[in-house]
Amino acid sequence: MASRLSDDLDHVARIQQEWARERPEVDVSPQGVIGRLHRLADWLTEELAVVFRDAGLSAGEFDVLATLRRAGAPFERTPGDLAESTMITSGGLTKRVDRLEHAGLVTRRPSERDGRGRVVALTPTGRALVDEVFDRHMANERRLVELLDADDREVLETVLTRWLAVSAGG
């Protein structure tokens, strides 16, 4: 897969060269950053998804389980909190929670504080699964970032943090 990624990086340079030839008056240098980030993000998404698929989960389902786990005991959140933390629509969240509930990984119950509201909670099985998958996920992320040396990782994290801070989504 690393060779596919390096081919993609060469592909970005070829695209830039072609545009520079065809439209020399346009600065295509942003493509070097954006194109490579886009291709890297696609590759990373696929590499990360392997761990989730091996556990029978989608990345989105893992995100819901992980969000509940990070809440701390009793490992529950309202659907609104879940939607905000996972940055998905309520409809998308409902589908994920339905699948997780069907698998016995979460439960839904009325809120004790607001009788009209609902609460989604991890089951003991869901907690055990998310803890196991999280360990494998962190090992996988470590494998991926360790493709870079420690100095490059530190610089990249600093640059990405700064870029996010100045962006609209920061």
Q: What is the pLDDT of residues 132-168, one digit of tens each?
A: 999 999 999 999 999 999 999 999 999 999 999 998 7
Long-range CB contacts for residues 66-72, cutoff 8 Å, separation at least 24: 66/130, 66/134, 68/106, 68/120, 68/121, 68/122, 68/126, 68/130, 69/122, 69/127, 69/130, 69/131, 69/134
Q: Which residue has the higher pLDDT, 73 or 11?
A: 73
Looking at residue 115, what is its pLDDT? 66
Dist. CA 50–CA 87, nearest whole Å: 22
111: left (phi over 0), alpha (psi -120 to 50) or beta: beta
Q: What is the pLDDT of residues 5-62, one digit of tens each?
A: 555 558 899 999 999 999 999 999 999 999 999 999 999 999 999 999 999 999 999 9
Looking at residue 162, what is its pLDDT? 94
Looking at residue 8, what is its pLDDT? 53
